[in-house]
Amino acid sequence: MSRYRPVDPGQSFPALEHRVLERWRERDVFHESVRRRRAEGAPRFVFYEGPPTANGPPGSHHVLSRVFKDVFPRYRTMRGHLVERKAGWDCHGLPVELQIERELGFQSKDDIERYGVAEFNAKCRQSVLTYIDEWNRLTERIGFWIDTDEAYFTLENEYIESVWWSLKQVWDKGLLTEGHKVVPYCTRCGTALSSHEVALGYRDVTDPSVFVRFPLEGEEGVSFLAWTTMPWTLLPHAALVVDPDATYVRARVGEETLILAESLLARVLGEEAEVVERVPGSGLLGLSYEPPFPYISDYGERGHTVLGGDFVSLEDGTGVVHTGAAFGEDDFRVATENGLTIHNPVRPDGTFDERAGPFAGLYVRDADAPIVEALRESGRLFGAGTYEHAYPHCWRCDTPLIYYAKTNWYVRTTERREDLLAANEAVTWYPQHIKHGRFGKWLENNVDWALSRERYWGTPLPVWRAEDGETVCVGSLAELRELGAEPPGDLHRPYIDEVSFERDGKTFRRVPDLIDVWWDSGCMPFAQWHAPFENEDVFRERFPADYICEALDQTRGWFYSLLAVSALLFGRSSYETVLCLGLILDTEGRKMSKSLGNVVVPWDVLDLHGADAFRWYYFTSKQPWDGYRFSVETVGESVRLLKTLWNTHALFVLYANLPERMEGGENDLDRWILSRLSATTAAAIERLDDYDTTSAGRAISEFVDDLSNWYARRSRRRFWRGEAAAFETLHTCLVTVAKLVAPLTPFVADEIYDNLDGAEPSVHLCSYPEPGERDRQLEWAMRVARDAVELGRAARAQARVKVRQPLREAVIVAADREREAIERFEALLLDELNVKSVRYVSQADELGRFELKPNYRALGPRFGKRMPQVAEAVAALEPDHAAATLREGGAVGINIDGKEHTLTPQDVQLVLRPLDGYQVERSGTHAVALGLELDDELRREGLAREVVHAVQAARKSAGLNVEDRISLTLGGDAELLDAARAHEDYVAGETLATSLSFDGAGSGSRPEIEGRELMIGVARA
């Protein structure tokens, strides 16, 4: 019976992962890992899930956030924390509605009303869960442990009630108010957007650029000149605005006189315009002029006169601003201050109403062209062109927004700006610069949260209004009942709209608005538990979160809504640490999109490389906030670590399952790798505590490399002999690495642990390793010895001498401590370099002679055409002496055309020409030379090794196990046979041959060695 399950070195990782998933399910490992910590009374590490929307299939960027949401909870659990992980789903909002509208072919809100709000919302409810199975399947497949059975849904009545409670809190503080303001507005969606939504949708567009005359009343031939990029706003033109402190001019151009700011004169009218008069802006105030269109005229006393404003740009336009009063924040303010009547002839769907005369019914932007045409006909158009600028679009449906005066509900976050900033101070950001950069600046420039949405599918605004305008905010279902109304079974529209109540003889009906879906998500810390109506203690114990993680763009999304809601309600941030993730791009740095055909579907990566490789790529290829440029192939490169680890595991099992065993003490190599293991453990803990998977992963990867390519390779003979200490050491290393890497690559880690240890049902139920003792002196010594080996190998490669060909000697430049270090590992070095002896020298000069070469880059500019003479002069220097001087930093002199010149070490390159028969490799002050001369004895030994190598290959292709004894027959080239005969014991020992004959009768393989034929007959003995 084997002690361990045999390991297939060619194991497919996706197949392995399915096996592990099965085991996790059977043993209920995730829940067990939580249960155990709960039973122990372990301290909590709180994680909040930022809820995704399941109305579309998950993409590769979702895998990114989900694996980062997994790795630290997994790690903290192993470190002794109780980490509960409640899943959640974001169910409301415009994207859901848009999808249904698209499905049903709807163009506007009217279509929805005709279809029926109840039916429409039923479809929305259904669609948010469309892909939930695929999400859950992917979540499990990538090893993201989260409680999907206990998930919260923002559409549930309980969740909505908690959100209502939060709004009532804000209401009671006087922070939830209605305001008539200019808001960014999407005409297609028929709703206002909050400032954080606007920030998501800027795009470059080309708009009309129009200069328009506004003829001064009572003075023939004199006009104000104003500029706009939105001609449609000229229809409801209310007033002109100038900067009272700026200088304006009357300028004559041809037959007419135009009034505009002096600083913009040349730019707008060119050099030939003649200044007739200079006037301060204040001198223009109150002047009347003719509006461009006659359709709306009753703007009040100051309508169609010149007003003063503090927002007039003197950098573009004309310094005379046309204002439509209702279509810009500043415009609205100045108009209100001056007592203007505000007209908004634009319907919520973006078309002009009947006040717009012949333009009634036109969509505002579609009216631009006919309006410019009308201005041209009436002689009002001075000039027209195009203008490119970044303009906000609806981030949901891509319609250009308009700014639009309307009534909205606001959460007055600006009143609590200081609280928001203070809350942010207590948060640790990864990367750090977001805190006072992107996010801090965002908070500093905070504007009130435009909360209401005139839509259908979302949390209803819990405000009821009487005929006389009195409003009541309802904070719970109980409160609604106290008011005499029965809450509907479904709190969504249209059912909630039917709920009304009487008070003080007045009927209160609900304000039909919904709230911004981002407010929903900001409420998840308490709403996921239906707190404070239930589970208040559960919420309090899990507030704030220790850790949250989402993409960088959530600084204007969830990171903001979470912080703002908690700062308003609880006076602090609801999270302590936040990790921001970068964008996912294709290998050429382009955004992934369906139209470019460069979208990487996560399933393709998972089926080909597996989840561990996918995770490892995200965790270690770079800092996660720097973004990724990837393809299915790129992820394949991260399979390397998994393969190395797996193969070392395979090697261990192969030898450990052999029956032979012998005692054998621990040696320096064992002590070294165990010390490296301690160092790696300490590094992994330090880095993962600091939310840095990149450095932790790289430290582990370097260790695995050391373990596989140095420790295990150098210990093969000991494994073969069955030395207990070697097995024990490798076993310890593999089991410990499995634990170290478990949070990052949970599948392969579990498989290795399960095979080699299995004391627990899973590696994820183990504690994270603690670092043991380190022997830094030993680690250093091994480093020095390995560096010497590296140089020696490079020298061999440079000389193109096969590794199997033994050489007489290696000469190593090393003195004192370094020499001692190498001597400690000399046996290992002899074997690695395949040399018979090592000689030490203290200076590189002893390995050859230095030749001097002029450094053309340094000397060229100095000597120009005389460089050939310089080269000659350098060549004529006495090389040993000059080299010694230059190496000590001194200078040497040369004479060119009778003039002395001084050359410094930067001016001359020292090239080491090795002694005859040697190959030298240098790196800094280190150097190793290999003697290349071969005698018959060395050559025979080299051939004998080639024979062994060929026999091993023959054994393998005959399907023999490593431990099988054979009878070996060799034939063929006489020289090869001679070599094998001369090293008969070695050949027999290495190939496990119990008998070796040279009669050449073998009928097996016939490899060629250096052009000589060898016949190999292998039979199980």
Q: How many residues bind Zn ion (CB under 5 A)?
A: 7
Distances 450 to 181, 397, 414, 558 between C-alpha atoms, Å: 10, 19, 12, 15
Residue 417 identity (one-letter amino acid): R
Residue 507 identity (one-letter amino acid): T
Least distance CB 5 / Zn ion (angstroms): 58
The span of 186-194, 376-384, 563-571, 803-811 binding Zn ion (CB under 5 A) equals 186-194
Residue 269 C-beta-side C-alpha neighbours within 13 Å: 27
Asked if 188 is part of the footprint of Zn ion (rule: CB under 5 A), the reply reads yes
Asked if 96 is part of the footprint of Zn ion (rule: CB under 5 A), the reply reads no
Pick 400 or 1007: Cβ nearer Zn ion? 400
The C-alpha atoms of residue 965 and residue 660 are separated, in whole angstroms, by: 14
**Which residue of the chain is nearest Zn ion when measured via CB?**
394
Least distance CB 107 / Zn ion (angstroms): 12
CB 479 within 8 A of CB 103: no
Beta strands 239-242; 449-450: pairing state: unpaired
Q: Taking phi first (over 0 means left), then psi (-120 to 50 degrees means alpha), and beta for anything else, what does residue 186 get? A: beta
Give the number of other Cβ atoms within 10 Å of residue 119's Cβ: 12
Residue 750 C-beta-side C-alpha neighbours within 13 Å: 26
One of 90, 331, 448, 754 is an active-site residue; which one? 90
Pick 188 or 901: Cβ nearer Zn ion? 188
291 is catalytic: no
DSSP 319: S
594 is catalytic: yes
Least distance CB 231 / Zn ion (angstroms): 22
DSSP 608: H
The span of 49-57, 251-259, 395-403, 408-416 binding Zn ion (CB under 5 A) equals 395-403
The span of 260-268, 393-401, 676-684, 947-955 binding Zn ion (CB under 5 A) equals 393-401
Residue 465 identity (one-letter amino acid): R
Least distance CB 393 / Zn ion (angstroms): 8
Report residue 809 CA to chain centroid gap.
Answer: 51
51 is catalytic: yes
The span of 209-217, 397-405, 526-534, 744-752 binding Zn ion (CB under 5 A) equals 397-405
One of 558, 616, 646, 710 is an active-site residue; which one? 558
CB 331 within 8 A of CB 299: no
Pick 189 or 230: Cβ nearer Zn ion? 189
Report residue 345 CA to chain centroid gap.
Answer: 46
Phi then psi dihedrals of residue 150, to 5 deg = -100, 15
Residue from 167, 306, 364, 394 in contact with Zn ion (CB under 5 A): 394
One of 51, 208, 769, 854 is an active-site residue; which one? 51
CB 59 within 8 A of CB 602: yes
The C-alpha atoms of residue 346 and residue 362 are separated, in whole angstroms, by: 10
CB 643 within 8 A of CB 649: no
One of 89, 164, 457, 518 is an active-site residue; which one? 518
The C-alpha atoms of residue 412 and residue 171 are separated, in whole angstroms, by: 10
| Residue closest to 702 by CA, chosen among 765, 779, 785, 615 | 779
Pick 189 or 340: Cβ nearer Zn ion? 189
Interacting residues with Zn ion between 632 and 691 (CB under 5 A): none
Pick 351 or 681: Cβ nearer Zn ion? 351
Cis omega (within 30 of 0) for bond into 358: no
Least distance CB 344 / Zn ion (angstroms): 19
Distances 242 to 297, 307, 381 between C-alpha atoms, Å: 21, 6, 20
Interacting residues with Zn ion between 460 and 479 (CB under 5 A): none
Pick 455 or 510: Cβ nearer Zn ion? 455
Least distance CB 348 / Zn ion (angstroms): 12
The span of 387-395, 651-659, 708-716, 1000-1008 binding Zn ion (CB under 5 A) equals 387-395
Pick 239 or 517: Cβ nearer Zn ion? 517
One of 594, 659, 935, 985 is an active-site residue; which one? 594
Report residue 93 CA to chain centroid gap.
Answer: 26
Beta carbons within 8 Å of 348's beta carbon, 6+ residues apart: 109, 187, 190, 454
The span of 178-186, 283-291, 385-393, 430-438 binding Zn ion (CB under 5 A) equals 178-186
DSSP 768: P
Least distance CB 101 / Zn ion (angstroms): 10
558 is catalytic: yes
CA dihedral 114, 118, 124, 125 (to 10 degrees): -170
Least distance CB 399 / Zn ion (angstroms): 5
**Is the four-CA dihedral 279, 283, 288, 291 of positive or negative sign?**
positive
**Helical ranges in 585-637 per DSSP H:** 602-608, 611-620, 632-636
Least distance CB 105 / Zn ion (angstroms): 17
Least distance CB 183 / Zn ion (angstroms): 13
The residue written with tokens 């301060």 in the block is 280
Contact code string over 134-173 relative to Zn ion, x by CB under 5 A: ----------------------------------------
Pick 396 or 983: Cβ nearer Zn ion? 396
Asked if 397 is part of the footprint of Zn ion (rule: CB under 5 A), the reply reads yes
Pick 189 or 685: Cβ nearer Zn ion? 189
Residue from 46, 146, 176, 189 in contact with Zn ion (CB under 5 A): 189
Pick 396 or 739: Cβ nearer Zn ion? 396
What are the residues binding Zn ion (CB under 5 A)? 186, 188-189, 394, 396-397, 399
- The catalytic residues are 51, 90, 518, 554, 558, 591, 594
